[in-house]
Amino acid sequence: MTRQIAEERIPARMPTVVYERIVEAARTVGSTLNQFLVQSALEKADEILERERVITLSSKAAKTVFDLMDNPPEPNERLKKAMSRSEKVLWQK
């Protein structure tokens, strides 16, 4: 059996000055334009996803969160009503 590798294309239009700068950078690090673009885009994507998925807290804020998880407060009336409404919506047939 032949193994198929899926590949996608991303067309990009850019001003000549931008293209030339990217080509120069790719040559500087010894990669092809395609390798450079893919690697650069992947690094940027990883950076963005990391920033959006990770919550950074100060020591004080982290302690507050962990304390609340270990010792949650009793639900107030507003929370009880919200939980009741969500149960009704989720369990409707």
Q: pLDDT tens for residues 57-92? A: 999 999 999 999 999 999 999 999 999 998 888 887
The neighbour count for residue 31, using CB atoms within 10 Å, is: 15
For residues 37-43, give the mean pLDDT: 97
For residues 37-66, give the mean pLDDT: 95
Q: Where are the alpha helices (DSSP H) in 1-93?
A: 16-28, 33-53, 59-70, 77-90
Q: Which amino acid belongs to residue 88? A: K
- Between these two residues, 2 and 31, which has the higher pLDDT value? 31
Q: Tokens in use for 29?
A: 């690090």
What CA–CA distance (Å, rounded) separates 65 from 3?
49
Helix axes 16-28, 33-53, angle to 10 degrees: 90
Average pLDDT, whole number, for the chain? 92
